[in-house]
């Protein structure tokens, strides 16, 4: 387990670098959890920047459910009640960054679990587990 603390969005770099390196080492499915506004999409944006995806192209997929950036799939299940993992169309060589994965109907074993909590001082604690 690794833990990071960020006081602002630009301080997500350390956590994003760690997760990005895990992806480069073979992590294909990453679950992100945290309250609304915790910074899940902001962190995913930083991760994708490290894989040469322009930040301005990374937008929350809350209303469209999934956005694809090359081999990366940014999935947001917030608006859905339950989702069958087969509906995601998981491809073996692609990377899935899934927000609100607890809404999956059947459990998928992620390579990483990222939890973001909001602290009393409005900073964020980011915990990354294998």
Q: What is the pLDDT of residues 78-129, one digit of tens each?
A: 988 777 777 777 888 999 999 998 888 777 889 999 999 999 999 999 999 9
Mean pLDDT, rounded, of the chain? 90
Predicted confidence at residue 67, as pLDDT, reads: 86
CATH number of 2-129: 3.40.50.300
Residue ranges covered by each domain of the chain: 2-129
Q: For residues 106 and 23, which has the higher predicted lDDT (pLDDT)?
A: 23
Three-state secondary structure string covering the chain: CEEEEECCHHHHHHHHHHHHHHHHCCCCEEEEECCCCCCHHHHHHHHHHCCCCCHHHCCCCCCCCEEEECCEEEEECCCCCCECHHHHCCCCCCEEEEECHHHECCCCCCCEEEEEEECCCCCEEEEEEC
Other Cβ atoms less than 10 A from the Cβ of 84: the count is: 9
Could you tell me the pLDDT band of residue 3, with boundaries at 50, 70 and 90?
A: very high
């Amino acid at each position: 387990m690794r833990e990071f603390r960020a006081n602002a969005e630009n301080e997500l770099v350390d956590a994003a670098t760690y997760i990005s390196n895990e992806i480069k080492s073979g992590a294909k499915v990453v679950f992100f959890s945290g309250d609304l506004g915790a910074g899940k999409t902001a962190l995913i944006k930083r991760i994708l920047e490290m894989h040469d995806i322009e930040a301005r192209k990374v937008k929350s997929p809350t209303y469209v459910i999934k956005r694809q950036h090359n081999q990366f799939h940014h999935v947001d299940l917030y608006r859905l009640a339950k989702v069958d993992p087969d509906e995601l169309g998981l491809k073996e060589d692609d990377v899935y960054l899934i927000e609100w994965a607890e809404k999956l109907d059947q459990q998928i074993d992620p390579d990483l679990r990222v939890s973001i909590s909001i602290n009393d001082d409005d900073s964020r604690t980011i915990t990354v587990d294998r």
